[in-house]
Structure formats: C-alpha cells, structure tokens
Amino acid sequence: MFSPEWDEGCPHCSFWADNFNGIDVHLRHRDVSFVAISRAPLPKIEAFKKRMGWGFMWASSGGSDFNYDYQVSFTPEQLSSGAAFFNYARTNPGFEDREAASVFYKDNRGDIYHTYSTYARGIDMLNGAYHYLDLVPKGRDEDTLEFTQAWVRHHDRYDD
C-alpha cells in the first residue's frame, strides 16, 4: 500500500482505502477494530492520510517483519528470483508491496491468532465502488485497458 521509499500511497490500494473511511465506528460497535498497515514511516502515512481526508487508523510496520510474515512485502531477491509467496502460491508478485486483508482474533488472555487472509482479487468484496460498477450495464469496463484498474487514480487526481 505504501512502501517506505514512496511519497504517497499506491493509487490502487488508495482506491480500496477510500472505501474504509467511515466504517470504523460501525465496526467498533460490533467489537471489531480496523487498522491499515503499511511499511512507510508514520509521518509519511499521516501526511498522505490527511491529504486524502481519511479518518481510519493506519499504522506503520516499518522496522518489523510484519508485512513480510504475512506475504504482502517482498525482498529484492524474492522479486528477482520469482520465488516470492503471494496469494497462496510461489510467484513473482510484480511489486515489493501487495494488497491483502487479514483478520486477527484476540482472546480473553490477550493471545492473538491469525484467522484469515485474502489477497489480490479476494479483496474485491471490500470495494464498494466495484460493487456499484458491477451493477451497471457496462460493468467495470476494464477489458480494453492495458491492465485492470488502469483507470484508477487517487481521488484528488482525476481530471474533473
């Protein structure tokens, strides 16, 4: 979503993040916490979050192996060898950081368990804009694009 070297979050991951804003209050009332995680330093995250007008919690995993442990960040060696493990398969993920949604459970003793993860197309269910596009006659209308989501921009970067 946001590598340490970048000045802003990925436009594609930001497309999903636009759907996160405002859900945290509803989730809290069902005893659920929502946190976005990126490797970028917190000051960069906070500046980008402010620019985008997002209010959800967003933490930095910088300085830890969290993103690597959950197979959403990859070393240069993994990328060059095509030996990265992403979306439950050995593959070349194409980028050093990829998208995912993971679920954790904290029990009464404070022990934390990883209960679920989904990657790539598995996160489509979290994107309200895509659900609306799936309802209209043209659908997502991405078949003639160089790659799916080639049309996506940060919400403050569309021409209109």
128, 15 Cβ separation under 8 angstroms: no
Confidence label for 8 from pLDDT (cuts 50, 70 and 90):
very high
Number of domain units in the chain: 1
Residues in the chain: 160
101 part of a folded domain:
yes
Residues 58-67 have a mean pLDDT of: 97
| pTM score, whole prediction | 0.90
70, 100 Cβ separation under 8 angstroms: yes
Task: Write out the two tokens for 23.
Answer: 């859900």
Residues 145-155 have a mean pLDDT of: 95
109 part of a folded domain:
yes
Confidence label for 1 from pLDDT (cuts 50, 70 and 90):
confident
Confidence label for 118 from pLDDT (cuts 50, 70 and 90):
very high
122 part of a folded domain:
yes
Q: What is the mean pLDDT of the chain?
A: 95
53 part of a folded domain:
yes
Three-state secondary-structure class, residue 112: strand
152 part of a folded domain:
no
What's the confidence (pLDDT) of residue 160?
86
Q: Which domain holds residue 104?
A: 11-135
